[in-house]
Amino acid sequence: MADTMQFDLVSPERSLASLRVSEVQIPAADGDMTAMPDHAPTITSLRPGLLKISGPDGTSEYVVTGGFAEISTEGTSVLAERAIPRDDVTQDDMNNLISEARKAQENANPDTVDAATKLLADMVAIGDEIGISTT
C-alpha cells in the first residue's frame, strides 16, 4: 500500500488544496468516512461538516457545506459547494451560514422541511465543533 495519495479540494470560487496526503476524513451524507491510499473507488455526496486531511506536511481542516467526493485508488477529489479553511472561519461566516440555513428552513415546503431542518442542525454543529458560537 502506498504511503500517500493525491488530494484535491475545489470550490466554485477556487482551488483550495492540491497535495499528497495519507488520509482524508470526509463528512459524507451517509456518515463520516476516511479515505486512504488504495481505497476502493467510491463517489459520495457531502453533508455540511469538517473535512480533515493528514499528510507528511501536517494536518488541515476545512468547513464544507456540501458537495461530492470521488475516491479512487490514485487519490481523492472533493468538489465542495463552499469550503473555508477552518482557521479562516470567522463569527460572521458562521452567522451567515446559520442565517442561510434558517431561511431555507423557513421557506421549505412540506417535502423539504426535514432536509432543511437537518441542514440547520449541521450548521450549528459545525460552529460548536470549531468553537464558534452560533446566533
What is the identity of the amino acid at 34? T
The string of pLDDT tens digits covering residues 104-122 is: 889 988 898 898 898 888 9
82's grid cell: 463552499
Name residues whose C-beta falls within 8 Å of residue 15's C-beta, 6 or more positions apart in sequence. Answer: 8, 9
52 and 70 in contact (C-beta within 8 Å)?
Answer: no
Of the pLDDT bands very low, low, confident and very high (cuts 50, 70, 90), residue 2 is low
Domains in the chain: boundaries = 5-86, 89-130
The string of pLDDT tens digits covering residues 31-69 is: 999 999 999 999 999 999 999 999 998 999 999 999 999
DSSP H or E segment with residue 78: strand 75-80
Q: Which CATH superfamily is domain 5-86 in?
A: F0F1 ATP synthase delta/epsilon subunit, N-terminal (2.60.15.10)
